[in-house]
Amino acid sequence: MRSRSWVTAGLALSALSACASGLHGQTAPALQTRAPSPAVAVAEATPLTPAIAPPTISLAVAKGTPLLVALQQEVRLRAVGQPLKGRLVRPLYGFDQLLVPAGSEVNGKVLSIGGISRKQRTLAILNADLTPERKVEVEFDELVMADGRHIPLQTTVTSGSGEVMRLVSSGEHGQQGKKKGAKDAVAAKLDEAKQQARKDLKDAMAQVEAPGKIHRLEHMAIGQLPARPQYLDAGALYFAELDAPLDFGNEALTEKLPASIGAPPPPGSLAQALLVTPLSSATSKKGDTVEAVLTQPLMDGEKLILPQGSHIRGSVSQVRPAARFAQNGQLRITFNEIVPPEGVTQRVSASLEGVQSRAQDRVQLDSEGGAQPTTSNSRYWNVALSLALAAASRGGDSDGGVSTAGTAGGRAAGGLGGFKLIGIVLGLAVKSQPFGAAMGAYGAGTSVYRHFVAKGKDIVFAKNTGMEIGFGDRNRALGQGTPESAPASSPAKLM
């Protein structure tokens, strides 16, 4: 038994030795590997680095941006849904890139035509107006690009739209006799920039069919009729705020582009902006915050100083509401801060150099950016005419109360002065000299009160009012800069 055990153990040891030898024979060749080639060694030693995409800028017209659209043709108002065609007055930019040029076609339609209340209709009839003007709401829903693309729009037309506007500039610097030589350099640059802005605006409006003098006279004559059609004037300006952004893709941000952003605006440069905070001499207070947003980038040669969308802030520095005896309101604003998008606020010296306003408001800017309405000299003629009609109505009756042609004409003249067409009819129908004289006296008194005794006009700047903002102190030479900012090497170029 013992010998068999030893034999069994010997066999087991032999098997283990054989297995070990077999394993050694298999693993030995694997340990004898060749050295890697130099190229492979370098690849293994250097870790793989993923490519980093350059930063980009979004080229989009943000939600809330107002499109300034001028009606291309005069439209006779007929029904809701009536198509409208307009032209873009100001170009659309994304950061520093021109996305949609001025003059691009914008399509829209009449959204609603308001009704007339009983009170309004009664007062209109008393004033010989059988077709009082109705409130009209419009919308613009399509932008036509130069390559023929039709881009759908979602817009809301804001208040203050539908009026023919004009661009009013501040007082001429060269006529003041105070700023000469080097000190007038900033003013000269501002005037040069404003002239270029006028040219750009004129080019943008060139495709609008503005009515000629004869057409305007015809409209004035039609406007005096008791019944007349209602028109939307060619060139009427609408502020159509975007309810959804317009996306034009992205642009790679180069190293050169952001280098100059945030630099002080060069003295004598002119920025195009839209008012964000509405202002009125009736409600605004001294010290109230004023904010505007740039609609175009401000350039210094090829350098970008302020991208589109930068904000300019200031305050109301002087205000006077309108008062009795035809004293018009006054408003003066100054700008002292600029805020680039996602940038650092910096102090500047800037003033209002131009503003859009309705022609009938007769807004005037002084050389320091103060604004006030002016009163037309036609008020003297209107009052003189009403007094003459009142005097003509004081004719006496003759032949036992039977009116002669002269006294009938006097009563008609008194009615014309007091109640226009209705007054003429009443003056001829009611054969009473005191009645005609009373209507004439009422008309004369109303005219005197309205033109010389009643409260004057307030200056009003609605939201989205177009503004030109000039940088730099006009009393300094171009090379001296401003107290808040350092000088720049060359004047700004407006894209």
Q: What is the pLDDT of residues 413-468, one digit of tens each?
A: 555 566 665 666 666 666 777 767 777 777 777 777 787 888 889 999 988 899 99
Burial 153-169 (b: 16+ CB within 10 A, else e): bebebeebbbbebebbb
What spatial distance separates the first Cα and last Cα of the chain, rounded to whole Å?
A: 112
pLDDT of residue 429: 67
Q: What is the pLDDT of residues 89-102, one digit of tens each?
A: 989 998 888 999 99
CA quadruple 128, 132, 133, 135: dihedral sign: positive
Name which of 371, 376, 369 is nearest 357 in CA terms.
371
In percent, the amount of the chain with pLDDT more than 90 equals: 25
pLDDT of residue 28: 41
Are 106 and 66 contacting, i.e. CB atoms less than 8 angstroms apart? no
Q: What is the pLDDT of residues 182-216, one digit of tens each?
A: 457 778 888 888 888 888 877 777 777 666 666 66
pLDDT higher for 356 or 217? 356
Are 440 and 240 contacting, i.e. CB atoms less than 8 angstroms apart? no
pLDDT surpasses 50 at 335: yes
Q: What is the pLDDT of residues 15-30, one digit of tens each?
A: 434 444 443 444 444 4
pLDDT of residue 257: 64
List Cβ neighbours of 336 (8 Å cut-off, separation of 6 or more): 313, 314, 315, 347, 348, 349, 350, 484
Average pLDDT value for residue range 294-317: 90
Distance CA 278, CA 287 (A): 14
pLDDT of residue 292: 94
Alpha carbon dihedral 188, 191, 195, 201, in 10-degree steps, equals: 150
pLDDT surpasses 90 at 121: no
Are 459 and 318 contacting, i.e. CB atoms less than 8 angstroms apart? no
pLDDT of residue 243: 94
Task: List where CATH 2.40.128.260 sits in the chain.
Answer: 57-375+457-494
Average pLDDT value for residue range 121-131: 76
pLDDT surpasses 50 at 289: yes
Where do runs of H (alpha helix) occur along 54-183?
118-126
Lowest-confidence region among 69-83, 213-227, 401-415 = 401-415
Q: What is the pLDDT of residues 275-286, one digit of tens each?
A: 999 999 999 999
CATH number listed for the domain at residues 57-375+457-494: 2.40.128.260
Are 143 and 151 contacting, i.e. CB atoms less than 8 angstroms apart? yes
pLDDT surpasses 70 at 405: no
Tell me what the pLDDT averaged over the chain comes to: 75
Name which of 100, 261, 193, 238 is nearest 469 in CA terms.
193
pLDDT of residue 444: 74
Q: What is the pLDDT of residues 39-64, one digit of tens each?
A: 444 445 555 555 566 677 788 888 98
Band of the pLDDT at 366, cuts 50, 70, 90?
confident
pLDDT of residue 285: 94
In percent, the amount of the chain with pLDDT more than 70 equals: 67
DSSP 171: P
Q: What share of the chain is helix, strand, coil (3-state, %, to 5)?
A: 30, 30, 40
Record the pTM.
Answer: 0.71
